[in-house]
Structure 1
Amino acid sequence: MSICKERITGAGAWVGADVREEDWLVELGPAERGELLDAVRGIPVGRALPDVTAADFPLPVLGPRLKELTRDLEFGRGFAVLRGIPLDLSPAETRLLYWGIVAHMGTAVSQNGRGELISHVTDYGKGDLSANAVRIYETSEVVPFHTDSSDITGLLCLCDAESGGASILASSMTIHNELLEHHRELLGIYYAGFVYDRRAEEETGEAPYYRNPVYGFFDGQLSCRYYVRHYIESAQDKTGIALSEVERLALDRFEEIAGQERNQVTMYLRPGDLQFVNNNITVHARTGYRDAPGRHRDLLRIWFNTQYARTMPDGFAKFRFGMPRVGPGA
C-alpha cells in the first residue's frame, strides 16, 4: 500500500479555529419541517423501510439542501448538523422520517450482527466493555476517538443526558499531517493496521478478529478507518499475540493528537439534532454521561454511503458495505 508523504490540504484538514458553528449547523425552517411530516404521512402504514426510496419520500424544499450537504460531507470539512428534526411522532414514524432523509443522501448499510439499519445509541444496561459481547455504543462510558465502518454516520438525538455526552470531532487528515511532520517513522504501522475484536459478532466458522488499516492512500485520496481501541486491546486475548511497544506508541500518538483541544470541535446534541460525520476524514468521540432517573439519553444511528463515495479496495474498510447478520435467522 502506498503511503501518503505530502501534507493534506483543503477543507477536510481543519483545526478547531478554522471552524465556526455557522459553518456546520443547518437549521430547518417551517416549510422544511412541514414537508418532512407530509412525506411521512404519504407512506402507507407498515411499509418496510428498505422499500422506501427518495422518490417515495418527496422533499422539494429540503431535498436540494440535502444534496448540497452530502457534497459538503464528502468534499468539505466532513461533518454537519441538521437542527429542528420533528420528533412529535410515533417511534415508527420517527424512524421513517430519518430513513427518508438518508434516502436522499445515500444507501444505508447494516451496522451490527443483528442486521439493524437503524439502531439505538443508549445505555443498554449490559455492563461495561469487559463483557465480550458489549459494543461501546451500548454503554454510557467515554467513547474514545474512532471511526465507524461506513463512509457516513448519522446520529439523530431523541433525548439528551442529564449531564455529559458531549460529541467531539477531530480531522484525521490533520492527525496524518502531524504524524507526517513529527512521527514519520510510525506511518508504516498505521498503513499496516491493527487487529480488532469482533465482539462476538463473527459468523460461524469465522475468526473472532480481523485486521484493518488506519490509513490508506488510493487514487490520490487519503482515507482513514480507526476503530475503537478497546477492540484492539481485547483482540489480543483471541489472537494470542500481544501488541508491540511500537504499536502501542503509534496508538498513543494518534490519540494524543486527536485529543489536543486545538484540533477539536465539541458540540452537545439536543433533541431534534441530526449529526452527520464522514468517517473517511473525521474521527469522533464522546464524553461519558449520566442519565436522569426515568430519562435516558437516546440517539438513533444509521450508517450509509453516498453517491459520491470514493474508491478504495475491499480490504481497506471492513464492513463498509454493512456487517453480516449472525445468529438465529442469519
Structure 2
Amino acid sequence: MACRSAFSDRRGQHGRAGAAPVTSERATPACVKQTCNFSEGALWDALIGARPEVWRFEIPLPLLDPAPLAEVFASDWPAIVRSDIVLDAEDAHAAFFARVEQALAQGPGFALLSRIPVEALSLREARLLHIILSKRFGRLRPQDVSGSFLCDVVDSDMSGRMHSDDQIALGRRWNNLPCHTDHAFGRDPPRRLAFLCFRAAEVGGAVRLASAATLLARVAKMGPHLVEDLRRPVPFDATRQIDVSDDAVDAVAIVGSDTGGTRLRYLNHQIAHARLDPRQREAVGALEMALAEPGLVAELMLSPGDVLFIDNGVVLHGRGAYRNRQVPHTPRHHLRLWLS
C-alpha cells in the first residue's frame, strides 16, 4: 500500500433516526456494560451488511448540481481546505445530513453515502468535492507532520513483507489488511475517517468493518478479566511506524474512554509484542481470536463514487484481498480524510 499525500498546508498545525441495533448477539455481558460505554446502535455483527437501510444514504442530487460547484472547482485548494465552505445545508437537505450524523453518533458508527459522480469529474474535482462533503461531519485533520489533509490510498496487488524482519505479517498481502483503527499510537487519533472510492479493483477489495462493542463483548465471554487487561497501556514498536516523522506515544491502552464513551485504539502490527506481560499477551490474543470468529466482520463493496464515513474508535476497518485491472495506471484508489 502506498499512501500518497495531497493538499498539504504547511502553514497549518502540524442510520436513520431511531433505527434499532442490528446484531445477532443476544446480550452484552454485564462486565462490558459496567466498564464500557457505547451507544445502543453500536452493537452489531456481520449481519448488518444485509441491512443497508441502517447505514446507506443516497446523496440528494441537488447537492451535486455542477452549476454551484463550478466556482468551488475553480478555487485554489488550500483556500477550500481552510475555509468554512461545505455542501449546501439548507432546510431541503438538513434532514439528510441529520440522518447520516445519527448513524455515526448513535447508530452503527459508519455510514455509506451514494454517490459522487466521479466518472464525470477529474481527480482534482473529486478531491475537492470529497473535502467539502466531509467537512459537514467534522473538522479536517492533517495526516502527517507536513500538514497533508488528504491521502491518496493507492494499492498495488503485489505480495511482500512490510519489513525484512517481519514475522507477524509474514505472507500477508499489502492488499489484505486486518481490521484496525487509524493512528492507533498517535497522540491524537482522528475521531472520524472519510473514504471516497475513486476507482475500484477489478476483483475483491471489500471494506471490512467490525463493531468495537461486539468485539469486546466476545472477548469478555472468553474471560471477564481480559477487557480490563486491554485497558492497561501496551508498548509501541517504533520500528513498525510507517512514517518515522509521526508524533507517536510510547504506550497506549487498547480500550480507553473519552467524553463520548468507550473507544478502541488498535493496530496489532505496531504493538511491541515482545514487551507485553503474560496477561496482556493473553488479552491481545483473545482480541485477535474474536476478530477471526465467523460472523463478526461485515464486508461492504464500495463502488466508484461511494463515500464511507467511519467512527474511528467505535468501528475497526480493514480491506479484503483484491486484484487490480491489468491496465496500466488503473489501480484501486481511495481518497482518505481524517476528521475531528
- For normalisation by structure 2, the TM-score amounts to 0.74
1:269 corresponds to 2:299: no
Q: Give structure 1 stretches of 5+ with no counterpart.
A: 306-330
- Specify the code of the residue in structure 2 equivalent to 1:248: R
1:296 corresponds to 2:335: no
1:15 corresponds to 2:45: yes
Percent identity of equivalent pairs: 23
Looking at structure 2, the residues matched to 291 and 17 of structure 1 have their Cα atoms a distance apart, in angstroms, of 28
1:200/1:299 CA distance change after superposition, 3 Å: closer
Looking at structure 2, the residues matched to 249 and 38 of structure 1 have their Cα atoms a distance apart, in angstroms, of 58
Does the 8 A contact of 1:81 with 1:274 survive in 2?
yes
Aligned positions of 1:295-314 closer than 5 A: 295-305=330-340
Q: Give the Å deviation of 1:222.
A: 1.6
Q: Give the Å deviation of 1:18.
A: 5.1
1:110/1:218 CA distance change after superposition, 3 Å: closer
1:180 corresponds to 2:180: no
Q: Which of 122, 125, 137 is the aligned partner of 1:93? A: 125
Comparing 149-158 with 245-254, greater Cα deviation is found at 245-254
- 2:319 maps to which residue? 286
Looking at structure 2, the residues matched to 300 and 231 of structure 1 have their Cα atoms a distance apart, in angstroms, of 23
- 1:147 maps to which residue? 181
Q: Give the Å deviation of 1:245.
A: 4.2
- Specify the code of the residue in structure 1 equivalent to 2:180: H
Q: Give the Å deviation of 1:220.
A: 8.1
Does the 8 A contact of 2:42 with 2:106 survive in 1?
yes
- Specify the code of the residue in structure 2 equivalent to 1:76: G
Q: Which of 213, 223, 229 is the aligned partner of 2:268? A: 229
Describe the SS at the equivalent of 1:54. Answer: coil
1:258 corresponds to 2:291: yes
Does the 8 A contact of 2:142 with 2:149 survive in 1?
yes
- Specify the code of the residue in structure 1 equivalent to 2:339: F
- 1:309 maps to which residue? none
- 2:84 maps to which residue? 53
Does the 8 A contact of 1:67 with 1:105 survive in 2?
no
1:130/1:202 CA distance change after superposition, 3 Å: closer
Describe the SS at the equivalent of 1:72. Answer: helix
Does the 8 A contact of 1:40 with 1:93 survive in 2?
no
1:169 corresponds to 2:190: no
Q: Give structure 2 stretches of 5+ with no counterpart.
A: 1-31, 183-188
Looking at structure 2, the residues matched to 110 and 29 of structure 1 have their Cα atoms a distance apart, in angstroms, of 29
Does the 8 A contact of 1:5 with 1:180 survive in 2?
no
- 2:111 maps to which residue? 80
1:117 corresponds to 2:149: yes
Q: Give the Å deviation of 1:45.
A: 2.6
Question: Residues 48-83 of structure 1, C-alpha deviation per residue, up to 9 Å, x if partnerless?
Answer: 13223236x434344541243123202211011011
- 1:42 maps to which residue? 71
Aligned positions of 1:197-216 closer than 5 A: 197-198=237-238, 199=241, 201-203=243-245, 210-216=250-256
1:203/1:126 CA distance change after superposition, 3 Å: farther
Q: Which of 156, 160, 163 is the aligned partner of 1:130? A: 163
Describe the SS at the equivalent of 1:76. Answer: coil
Looking at structure 2, the residues matched to 193 and 246 of structure 1 have their Cα atoms a distance apart, in angstroms, of 12
- For normalisation by structure 1, the TM-score amounts to 0.76
Looking at structure 1, the residues matched to 220 and 202 of structure 2 have their Cα atoms a distance apart, in angstroms, of 40
- Specify the code of the residue in structure 1 equivalent to 2:55: W
Looking at structure 2, the residues matched to 131 and 243 of structure 1 have their Cα atoms a distance apart, in angstroms, of 22
Aligned positions of 1:189-200 closer than 5 A: 189-198=229-238, 199=241
1:33 corresponds to 2:68: no
User: How many residues are treated as equivalent by the alignment?
Assistant: 286
Q: Give the Å deviation of 1:127.
A: 5.9
1:210/1:290 CA distance change after superposition, 3 Å: farther
- Specify the code of the residue in structure 1 equivalent to 2:130: Y
Q: Give the Å deviation of 1:112.
A: 2.8
Looking at structure 2, the residues matched to 168 and 17 of structure 1 have their Cα atoms a distance apart, in angstroms, of 13
1:70 corresponds to 2:101: yes
Describe the SS at the equivalent of 1:261. Answer: coil
- Specify the code of the residue in structure 2 equivalent to 1:158: F
1:296/1:219 CA distance change after superposition, 3 Å: closer
1:131/1:64 CA distance change after superposition, 3 Å: farther
Describe the SS at the equivalent of 2:295. Answer: helix
Question: Residues 293-321 of structure 1, C-alpha deviation per residue, up to 9 Å, x if partnerless?
Answer: 2220000001102xxxxxxxxxxxxxxxx
1:103 corresponds to 2:145: no
Question: Residues 171-191 of structure 1, C-alpha deviation per residue, up to 9 Å, x if partnerless?
Answer: 101112222333222223311
